[in-house]
Amino acid sequence: MKWLDFLAQCCAVLAGLLLTLITLLTCVSVVGRNTTGWTLVGDFELTGAAAGAAIALFLPWCQARRGNIIVDFFTGGASEATRARLDRLGALAVALVMGLLAWRTGLGGLSAWKSQSGSMMLGFPEWITYAAMVPALGLTALIALVQAVQGFDTPEPSSPVAAPTLQERA
């Protein structure tokens, strides 16, 4: 699982770099538009493509760190073993959904590549965004599958913003 964690971390770093790049691009465009009237044509197209890729690139890290939202209203009183089995079942569901998304996104990317479709203003090739998303979605599926089979290495994270219970306040 360590090499999967490393790959997930690399994806997250790449996503952070993409978001930083589009933030700088947007700042340059907005400042230029408001000061000199100069703007980057199609900046919104690049922002959309990079944001889509960044979202997909953050998913492996989120899954590896158990960062998905867990609603435990019905299972709060269940035993630890029952919650562990349900967590593994949830990880299996995530693996199946992410595998399906990777497959369909891959087919969409191939279709975009064959048709040479691009963005309206810049003609930026759409397949590039798909190509960035497919490996990340596949990695997320693999991480979730390993978690479903082997269980979780790390304990379930506690919410950093959760309010203290009445017992903790007393």
Q: What is the DSSP string of 108-164?
A: HHHHHHHHT-B-TTT--BHHHHHHHHHHHHHHHHHHHHHHHHH--SSPPPPPTTPPP
pLDDT mean over 92-107 = 97
Domain assignment present for 26: yes
Dist CA 48 CA 42 (whole Å): 10
pLDDT bracket for residue 161 (50, 70, 90)? very low
Q: In terms of pLDDT, which residue wins out, 69 or 122? A: 122
Domain assignment present for 105: yes
Q: In terms of pLDDT, which residue wins out, 159 or 123? A: 123
Domain assignment present for 33: yes
Q: In terms of pLDDT, which residue wins out, 64 or 157? A: 64
Query: Count of domains in the chain?
Result: 1
Domain region containing 43: 2-67+77-155
pLDDT mean over 133-137 = 97
Domain assignment present for 162: no
Domain assignment present for 170: no
pLDDT bracket for residue 162 (50, 70, 90)? very low
Domain assignment present for 128: yes
Domain assignment present for 22: yes
Q: What predicted TM-score, i.e. pTM, was given to this entire model?
A: 0.82
Asked whether residue 166 carries a pLDDT value surpassing 50, the answer given is no
Question: Which one of 81-90, 146-155, 160-169 scores highest in mean pLDDT?
Answer: 81-90
Dist CA 150 CA 100 (whole Å): 21
Asked whether residue 19 carries a pLDDT value surpassing 60, the answer given is yes
User: How distant is the alpha carbon of residue 170 from its chain centre?
Assistant: 39
Domain assignment present for 6: yes
DSSP structure class, residue 165: P
